[in-house]
Amino acid sequence: METKSENACFGGVQGVYTHASKATGTDMTFGLFLPAEARDGPVPVLWYLSGLTCTHENAMTKAGAQGWAAEQGIALVFPDTSPRGAGVADDEAFDMGQGAGFYLDATQDPWAAHFKMRSYVAEELPTLIDNNFAVDMERQAITGHSMGGHGALTLAMSLPGRFRSVSAFSPICNPSASDWGRKQLSGYLGEDDAAHAAHDASRLMAERGFDGPMLVDTGTDDQFLDLLMPETLAEAAAKRRQQSILRMQPGYDHSYFFVSSFMEDHVTFHAEALYAR
């Protein structure tokens, strides 16, 4: 692992690191914020999964999360959204290929060789961080924005016991039934509907739910609202009687202005779960 940068940040350290990934077969870069408390021992960790076209850097510099995480003594992990490089398959469209890994393990060519983002985020990167930094992997939570909100919700529901809480900003809620998902799920996974269902938050909610609290915020003026389909997740959560807060925020769009406006709420929400006995 190579340290690309480390900067003082709200009394802690915001670092950026690169390592060779076995999961993707490429070099991967991630950001990690450690609060001041990490100098004295392991701290809880909140994962932030970013959306389409983003890298590790977008949320790290735009979400305004470090200040709130520092107040709560929580580490933040900012993974990249896909493998990258000259030998990695790509697509001219922004919603497929590099920058658009959808947090799944691709099974179809040409994507299968490198696009193993579920294995990377769920297995390889946690192990790397656990072995090298003062984080407490017994106290994890997860959040994300857009495609990353989709990833946060689907990972939380498919890995029972891993995360104490889950939240999302404007998540893609029902990709197997949306124009923002059918193309990607079919391209990466083929036409098997069961494979698609395993990466669909609304269908996972209907099938199994989440074993903890959930918070979801979406803006009423989100330009992608018809593609996100938040109503499908709300209906599934209501039928399951899932412990959840699902909010439509008036006037907000899909941008990081929206994310940063409600970041304090989300970090506080996760802190309550992470520090609960």
CA distances from 99 to 130, 148, 161 (A): 25, 11, 29
Query: Taking a C-beta distance cutoff of 8 angstroms, is the pair 17, 111 a contact?
Result: no
**CA 214/CA 211 separation, integer angstroms:** 9
**Which pair of tokens denotes residue 219?**
């803006």
**Which pair of tokens denotes residue 75?**
């580490």
Residue 50 falls in the annotated catalytic set = no
Angle between helix 65-72 and helix 256-274 axes, rounded to 10 deg = 10
Termini Cα distance of the chain: 34
The residue annotated as part of the active site, out of 222, 244, 266, 270, is: 222
**Which pair of tokens denotes residue 47?**
């994962």
Residue 199 falls in the annotated catalytic set = no
Residue 193 falls in the annotated catalytic set = no
* Helix (H) / strand (E) containing 273: helix 256-274
What does the radius of gyration of the chain's CA atoms come to, in whole angstroms?
17
Query: Taking a C-beta distance cutoff of 8 angstroms, is the pair 269, 243 a contact?
Result: no
The residue annotated as part of the active site, out of 56, 114, 254, 270, is: 254
**CA 189/CA 204 separation, integer angstroms:** 17
The residue annotated as part of the active site, out of 146, 170, 178, 202, is: 146
64 Ramachandran zone, left/alpha/beta (phi>0; psi -120 to 50): left
Q: Which residues are catalytic?
A: 146, 222, 254
